[in-house]
């Protein structure tokens, strides 16, 4: 069984059936457009955004906030989903209305984030211990918007408190259009292995489209997840940070049985493209983003440690671009 050519979230057809996972500090508008431009990604999602922050943004549009940056997107990013987190049903519903008014194609509620500061506020995976509140949240948001509503969640708080089947049933009863499961527990964080059998159980338990997420490192993994679970689409997260071509590779693998592998030159091109997009966008903390993505983009690059170290020590965008140019000019000359 191969990754499906498409799937639907309500009236929205997503083709191909691949999704860029929402990742805090990663999936801003610049990175999302970088992924979109490589081809092969059916749906992209924003960083998860505080519902309280979105409501505050509506009340004070003159002062830029984190929520404003997180929810900014360009027309080329469609179809795009806004992901929200929070624990107040009324606030969440109002935030969802703001997202609908801004032109998002769908809204997604985060019940998966394992980070302590989010969980302590009863957000993210913290809500997996309060299913009645999950139901009230979903009911309020579903009644507040006309665009599709989805949710992403983990399997449970720990292996003794698994709730993914109950979450799937609640989503179905509340009229959601799709659900995404990351089958690790909150206790696992990002350690250990994703138990894909939980995705298969969920798929057998509900009629909603189920998006599988977790440990897709290669195109082969994407196909294997669909084969083993029967999921309707695959969601790729951390792998896309270091390999922005993963969605293109999945499409090529489905079409031909093989896929293109980036060369050193391709890695140089993607790094410079992303850094130039950051600079031209005048993104918040451009230099910080460049340093962050140096870790991702030099993965697998010969002598990449040297480039990372130099970038970490730089203080402005122009210097970092110059470092990248000079490093790859030297490395590509040696390789030739």
280/147: higher pLDDT: 147
Q: Using only C-alpha atoms, what is the Rg of the chain?
A: 20
Contact 153, 164 (CB under 8 A): yes
- Confidence band for 189, pLDDT divided at 50, 70 and 90: confident
What is the per-residue pLDDT across 214-245, written as a single tens digit (0 to 9) for each?
Answer: 999 999 999 999 999 999 999 999 999 999 99
Mean pLDDT, residues 161-182 taken together = 97
Task: Give me the pLDDT at residue 65, please.
Answer: 65
Task: Give me the pLDDT at residue 284, please.
Answer: 63
- Confidence band for 121, pLDDT divided at 50, 70 and 90: confident
Is residue 1 scored above 70 in pLDDT? no
- Confidence band for 27, pLDDT divided at 50, 70 and 90: very high
Is residue 335 scored above 70 in pLDDT? no
pTM over 0.85: yes
- Confidence band for 125, pLDDT divided at 50, 70 and 90: confident
Contact 319, 332 (CB under 8 A): no
Contact 93, 58 (CB under 8 A): no
Is residue 35 scored above 80 in pLDDT? yes
Is residue 50 scored above 70 in pLDDT? yes
Lowest mean pLDDT among 115-129, 210-224, 273-287, 305-319: 115-129
Mean pLDDT, residues 135-148 taken together = 98
Instruction: Specify whether 113 is catalytic.
Output: yes
| Bridge partners of residue 210, in order along the sequence | 179
Task: Give me the pLDDT at residue 51, please.
Answer: 93
Is residue 144 scored above 60 in pLDDT? yes
Mean pLDDT, residues 159-167 taken together = 95
E strands in the chain: 7-9, 12-14, 18-20, 44-45, 49-50, 80-85, 106-111, 149-154, 178-182, 210-213, 233-236
60/189: higher pLDDT: 189
Task: Give me the pLDDT at residue 63, please.
Answer: 59
Of the residues 41, 99, 113, 231, which is catalytic? 113
Measured from the Cβ of residue 136, the count of other Cβ atoms closer than 10 Å reads 17
Task: Give me the pLDDT at residue 305, please.
Answer: 93
Considering the chain, what is the average pLDDT of its residues? 92
Task: Give me the pLDDT at residue 81, please.
Answer: 98
Task: Give me the pLDDT at residue 61, please.
Answer: 59
Lowest mean pLDDT among 167-176, 184-193, 327-336: 327-336
Of 211, 206, 89, which is closest to residue 138 (Cα–Cα)?
A: 89
Cis before 79 (ω within 30) = yes
- Confidence band for 113, pLDDT divided at 50, 70 and 90: confident
166/298: higher pLDDT: 166
Task: Give me the pLDDT at residue 282, please.
Answer: 63
Task: Give me the pLDDT at residue 220, please.
Answer: 97
Is residue 283 scored above 60 in pLDDT? no
**Burial class of residue 84 in the structure, from the number of CB atoms within 10 Å of its CB (0-12 exposed, 13-18 middle, 19+ buried):** buried
């Amino acid at each position: 069984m191969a990754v499906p050519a498409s799937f639907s979230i309500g009236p929205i057809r997503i083709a191909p059936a691949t999704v860029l996972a929402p990742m805090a500090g990663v999936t801003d508008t610049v990175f999302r457009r970088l992924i979109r431009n490589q081809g092969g990604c059916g749906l992209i999602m924003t960083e998860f955004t505080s519902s309280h922050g979105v409501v505050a943004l509506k009340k004070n549009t003159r002062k830029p906030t984190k929520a404003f940056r997180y929810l900014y997107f360009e027309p080329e990013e469609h179809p795009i989903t806004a992901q929200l987190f929070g624990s107040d049903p009324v606030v969440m519903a109002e935030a969802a209305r703001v997202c609908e008014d801004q032109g998002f194609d769908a809204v997604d509620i985060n019940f998966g984030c394992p980070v302590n500061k989010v969980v302590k506020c009863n957000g993210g995976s913290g809500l997996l211990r309060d299913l009645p509140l999950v139901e009230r949240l979903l009911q309020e948001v579903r009644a507040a918007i006309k665009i599709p509503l989805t949710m992403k969640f983990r399997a449970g708080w720990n292996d003794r408190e698994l709730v993914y089947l109950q979450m799937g049933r609640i989503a179905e009863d509340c009229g959601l259009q799709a659900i995404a499961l990351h089958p690790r527990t909150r206790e696992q964080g990002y350690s250990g292995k994703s138990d894909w059998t939980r995705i298969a159980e969920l798929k057998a338990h509900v009629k909603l489209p189920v998006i599988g997420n977790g440990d897709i490192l290669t195109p082969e993994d994407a196909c294997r997840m669909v084969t083993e679970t029967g999921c309707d689409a695959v969601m790729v997260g951390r792998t896309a940070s270091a390999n922005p071509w993963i969605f293109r590779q999945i499409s090529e693998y489905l079409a031909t049985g093989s896929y293109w592998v980036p060369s050193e030159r391709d890695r140089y091109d993607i790094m410079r493209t992303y850094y130039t997009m950051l600079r031209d966008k005048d993104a918040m903390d451009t230099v910080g983003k460049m340093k962050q993505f140096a870790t991702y983009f030099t993965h697998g690059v010969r002598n990449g440690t040297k480039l990372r170290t130099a970038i970490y020590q730089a203080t402005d965008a122009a210097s970092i671009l110059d470092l990248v140019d000079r490093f790859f000019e030297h490395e590509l000359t040696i390789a030739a």
